[in-house]
Amino acid sequence: MLVSPHRTKRPWLGQKETLPPDERPEFDPKCYLCPGNLRANGERNPAYADTYVFENDFAALLPALDGAEPLQQGLLRSERAAGECRVLCFSPRHDLTLGNMDLPSIRRVIDMWGDQIVEVGSRMKWVQIFENKGSAMGASNPHPHGQVWACDYLPSLVAREAACQKAYLESHDQPMLLDLVTQEILAETRIVALTEHWVLLVPFWAIWPFEYLLVPRRHVQRLPDLTGAERDDLAAMLRTGIQAYDKLFETSFPYSMGWHGAPTDGDSHPHWQLHAHFYPPLLRSATVRKFMVGFELLAEAQRDVTPEGAAVRLRSLV
């Protein structure tokens, strides 16, 4: 990976992001995620007072295996994919984000994530929990929410993670990410925050300038396997990490985050360690983002900030 931190010093005359409004109302009558409001499909949300889950009105994956027939023509191959998509409302309040909710409310979101993995994972091999926050990361609605995309196969990026972790366990007799946690705690240079149960760090291989990797300190395969104490600690760590983002450029920091736990295919996965990825796009200010273009698209990813430098800046804001 090419490292060129000097690029952040060059004059910038390119695209700048439009900042979201500083304040939003607690309730927006035009928001299709607020309690009691009509959604785009004509259904009305209940007057929910906590977390709320519903089937995505515009699902990218459908339970029935409909669509084009499987294809195999020379080098070309396709297969049918079935799945489920859900929307996960974190709070009835339109003006909150996950990072500025109180700890009991964040804990309820964590429990919701775990419940979704248990329920949907009983039918699907892979359950992807994720959140896109901010218009810069494609969020179509500022109401605090995430999504579930579950499917009956192992997605390609996840399959690569699984293969790497399995190979490492076979050669080292220890889950790879647990060894990484041990090494990073000893090094300290890429650690952003450390608690009894969790470590938040900027990974050595990070591509996005202020990328996070969030890992439990004991061997845990899936979110539902977390103890009550680990869930409480996770709530505090999520708030700490997201608030550090917000302080970095004094803006509601956009990101995409998602959980990678062991597949829910019924097999044993001793090599797998639960972890979350945070991919934030901002590079040098609240309005200037990193663009994956040119050399990075065609040859090799380039780091504009070293992981150690990013960790120092974020750690100072914790």
DSSP labels, 71-133: EEETTEEE----EEEEEEE--S-TT--GGGS-HHHHHHHHHHHHHHHHHHHTT-SEEEEEEEE
Backbone dihedral angles phi then psi of residue 213, each to the nearest 5 degrees: -125, 125
Alpha-carbon distance of 98 to 104, in angstroms, equals: 12
Q: State the virtual CA torsion across 143, 144, 148, 149 in degrees, nearest 10.
A: 50
Decide if 106 contacts 98 (C-beta within 8 A): yes
Buried b / exposed e over 166-185, threshold 16 CB at 10 Å, is bebbeeeeebbbbebbeebe
Alpha-carbon distance of 2 to 55, in angstroms, equals: 42
In the chain, what is the straight-line distance between the N-terminal and C-terminal CA atoms, in Å? 28
Alpha-carbon distance of 149 to 86, in angstroms, equals: 7
Alpha-carbon distance of 74 to 221, in angstroms, equals: 38
Tell me the three state secondary structure of residue 21.
Answer: coil
Distances in whole angstroms, Cα of residue 247 to Cα of each of 9, 44, 86, 138:
21, 36, 31, 21
Has 145 been annotated as catalytic?
Answer: yes
Decide if 134 contacts 254 (C-beta within 8 A): yes
Q: Which listed residue (145, 197, 260, 277) is catalytic?
A: 145
Catalytic residues: 145
